[in-house]
Amino acid sequence: MERPIGIFDSGIGGLTVLKEIINAMPGEDTIYLGDTARVPYGTKSAETVTKYSFENARFLLKFNIKLLVVACNTASAYCLPQLKKALQIPVVGVIEPGAKKAVEITKTKRVGVIGTEGTIKSGAYFDAIKSIDSSIAVFTQPCPLFVPLAEEGWTNNQMAHLTAQTYLNDIKKNWIDTLILGCTHYPLLKEVITEVMGNKTMLIDSGHETAAEVFRCLAEKNLIKIISSKESSHRFFVTDSPDRFKQVGSRFMGASLRNIELVNLENL
Amino acid sequence: MERPIGIFDSGIGGLTVLKEIINAMPGEDTIYLGDTARVPYGTKSAETVTKYSFENARFLLKFNIKLLVVACNTASAYCLPQLKKALQIPVVGVIEPGAKKAVEITKTKRVGVIGTEGTIKSGAYFDAIKSIDSSIAVFTQPCPLFVPLAEEGWTNNQMAHLTAQTYLNDIKKNWIDTLILGCTHYPLLKEVITEVMGNKTMLIDSGHETAAEVFRCLAEKNLIKIISSKESSHRFFVTDSPDRFKQVGSRFMGASLRNIELVNLENL
């Protein structure tokens, strides 16, 4: 199958998911849409996020994608079931894979979740974990400053440390052994989060788990690309400020970004 | 004149300007529009911010406003001349009043400006100051973390201090005696900014200067409201998440907010 995988996020964060997908399936072609004109989704209402998500999906469907990844926790929290129902192709969100993994590895049956205000308020991780194993205790904490810290590149300085300490202090007291990084920006802060939580707390990177889920899904439906000698292609679309996306995004991908195009979703 | 003053901002920050307007002219009626569905403007392109600003203005004009305040530095930086040209009523931005005041009070002729990435990149303060007095040296510094710190209410803790130190360290070395707070969120961080800059640096609150400019403008055009026994009315519209606006906004206004209505600008 030569059809690409479509991925959208509210902005730059989803690149950490894309990176994991490319690592796991280097032969696949991808098309990434960052809705940088309307970022952030984390403080917006469910109605607004749902509307934007459907517009993003509609744009990606024009490229004949074989699978859609909703690489945004807020969008996954608010409208994944609706997207799954409306679309003819498989849709993978970033919440279920992380929740599943947490249930699988927790020994103390005490799991923490950190994310944006929207993700935490939606209760999506709480519900996802409880629906697999209702005996697991779930503790949540919104960490709004983590996103701007990651975008500013302040991921391992004193501000990052203090912020992590402030946010994680309470959740740490709950004796959790597993912490879900419920926002695609947070893998950039893994180091400081580990330092605050200690080595014994297992961190779950939703992007990594999502890539594994994408692979399972493609394999199951026989949609894996037959690897040819042709290099895989990775296209990027943004709804605003391609320069900033290129600059900040390169830090998120750990590689410089090419093929970034500006698109206006409202004129489609 | 019983017509209200219209004010828009990308979100919550403009409330610090509204607060100053109400303090200066307690009899006036006001209508505030916070474009919370599309906040922030600071990282968006000039084209996008201009488009949004015209939509915001169009909405406020429906209320027969007598003057429009663009209480957003990014929007003032990108499209004030266009708005002034297109509208039949006076339009006041937040940049010129702050720039004027800085020129007026600096003794060393060395002025600093801090703001969002968009405001600083636009060069609007630089240009505004230089056009009044080209002999003044202007030093600028974007401070992206200040907005989320203010919204989180972390305005006087260790994170706020460290962040201010990091951002202001370089600009401080330039021997400025005047610093323009070129973002409507920054007045909330006045205390830590003063601590870092020292007592001898004069801080200019653009909102305060803008309110003075609004008063001058209304007086000049004979548009001041004749104060009746009727209480002044203050209405608030947001494009998303009125609950968050109420909660965070109350901190910005220093008073609880009532009459917050949700509006969809796309259906107008």
CATH number of A96-206: 3.40.50.1860
CATH 3.40.50.1860 maps onto chain A at 5-93+208-267, 96-206
Please tell me the predicted confidence (pLDDT) of residue B250.
Answer: 93
pTM for this entry: 0.90
What are B196-249's pLDDT values in tens digits? 999 999 999 999 999 999 999 999 999 998 776 568 899 999 999 899 999 999
Residues 207-246 of chain B whose Cβ lies under 8 A from any Cβ of chain A: 240-241, 244
Asked if B90 and B82 touch (Cβ cutoff 8 Å), the reply is no
Q: Does any CB of chain B come closer than 8 Å to the CB of residue A141?
A: no
| CATH class in words for B5-93+208-267 | alpha beta
* Chain A interface disruption, residue of B10, B45, B185, B189, most A CBs within 10 A: B45
**For residue A81, pLDDT beyond 60:** yes
Across B261-265, average pLDDT:
92
* Residue A142, strand partner residues: A115
Q: Which residue spans of chain B are classified as CATH 3.40.50.1860? A: 5-93+208-267, 96-205
Residue whose pair of structure tokens reads 């998120």 in the numeric block: A252
Long-range contacts of B227-234 (CB under 8 A, 24+ apart): B227/B27, B232/B22, B232/B26, B232/B27, B232/B28, B232/B29, B232/B30, B233/B4, B233/B29, B233/B30, B233/B259, B234/B18, B234/B22, B234/B29, B234/B30, B234/B31, B234/B32, B234/B259
Query: Is A159 at the interface with chain B, CB within 8 A?
Result: yes
Cα→Cα distances A102→A78, A164, A209, Å: 20, 21, 10
Candidates A158, A161, A189, partner chain B, best to mutate (most B CBs within 10 A): A158
Residues A153-170: what's their mean pLDDT? 95
User: In which band, very low, low, confident or very high, does the pLDDT at A228 lie, cut at 50, 70 and 90?
Assistant: low
Q: Which of A36, A38, A43 sits opposite B244 (nearest CB)?
A: A43
* A162–B44 C-beta distance less than 8 A: no
- The percent of residues above 90 in pLDDT, for chain B, comes to 84
Q: State pLDDT tens for residues B47-58.
A: 989 999 999 999
Chain B contact for A43 (CB, 8 A cutoff) = yes
* Residue A183 is among the residues annotated as catalytic for this protein: yes
Q: What is the rounded average pLDDT for all residues in chain B?
A: 94
Is B241's CB within 8 Å of A45's CB? Answer: yes
State the pLDDT confidence band at A82, using cuts at 50, 70 and 90: very high
Flag if A158 and B154 touch (Cβ within 8 Å).
no
Instruction: Check pLDDT > 80 for residue A265.
Output: yes
Q: Is the CB of residue B169 less than 8 Å away from at least one CB of chain A?
A: no
Decide which of B232 and A30 is more confident: A30
A79 is catalytic: no
* Whether residue A227 has pLDDT greater than 80: no
* CATH code for the structural domain at B96-205: 3.40.50.1860
Closest CB to B45: pick one of A145, A166, A240: A240
Q: What is the pLDDT of residue B42?
A: 79
pLDDT score, position A131: 97
Q: Which residue has the tokens 């002999």?
A: B135
Is A141:A114 a contact under the CB 8 Å cutoff? yes
pLDDT digits (tens, 9 = 90+) for B133-170: 999 999 999 999 999 999 999 999 999 999 999 999 99
